[in-house]
Amino acid sequence: MSRLILATLAALILVGLFASATVANADGHDDAEVECVVAGSTVVDCEDEGINDEHGENCEVVHYHGDLNGVGDPDEYGCGHGEVTEQAVEDEEDDSGFLNTVYDWFDVAIQGLTTGFSPKSVQESVEIVEDAAPSIAENAENAEEYFEAYPDAPDRDRYTLEDETEDHGWLYNAFWGLFE
């Protein structure tokens, strides 16, 4: 066989593999599952009896009435616990796709060359931090409000090596001194 025929055959195989991976990923999203969310945070069954349609001037959106997570209805003549919206359920990542397999091979190769560095682990860590950032910021705001409301609360200054009386050695002090 000539080089041209081999190159053409290899190109057709690669195109076929990428096309099959794309078709397999597209098939998984045809029947997207939907979940109902109350007030942007609590997921309920979309067939739940507490979901009510709008009722005139008191509430002009689909909303939830009744007990929700053990909490009684806060506004039984208005919008109850809040607006109910439908959103698509995010499927767990399918690691069986061709592109994910290639990415895993690439990650293993990088780990082998660098003796342990994993781009995939870094990406997953960044995603975790991005997901947690809003709640971390909210906790910081709540702490500030707490200390403003209760000025006699225990000291909120952080612990530093300046308060340390025991000597742990120069290496310990040098390392932790970098963070002060």
Instruction: Show the tokens assigned to 113.
Output: 């060359």
Model pLDDT, residue 60: 83
Model pLDDT, residue 19: 59
Whole-angstrom CA distances from 114 to 100, 108, 109, 141, 149 are 21, 10, 9, 40, 51
Model pLDDT, residue 160: 56
pLDDT digits (tens, 9 = 90+) for 34-64: 888 888 778 888 888 888 887 767 788 888 8
pLDDT in tens, the chain (180 residues): 677 777 777 667 766 666 555 554 444 444 567 888 888 778 888 888 888 887 767 788 888 888 888 788 888 788 888 888 888 877 665 556 788 888 888 888 888 888 888 888 888 888 998 888 888 888 888 888 887 888 777 665 555 556 666 677 788 878 877 876
Nearest to 42 by CA among 19, 11, 63, 12: 63
Model pLDDT, residue 15: 66
pLDDT digits (tens, 9 = 90+) for 90-102: 766 555 678 888 8
- The answer to whether 81 and 73 have CB atoms below 8 angstroms apart is yes
Instruction: Show the tokens assigned to 90.
Output: 């995010």
**Distance between CA atoms of residues 167 and 91, nearest Å:** 53
In the chain, where the domains are located: 118-180
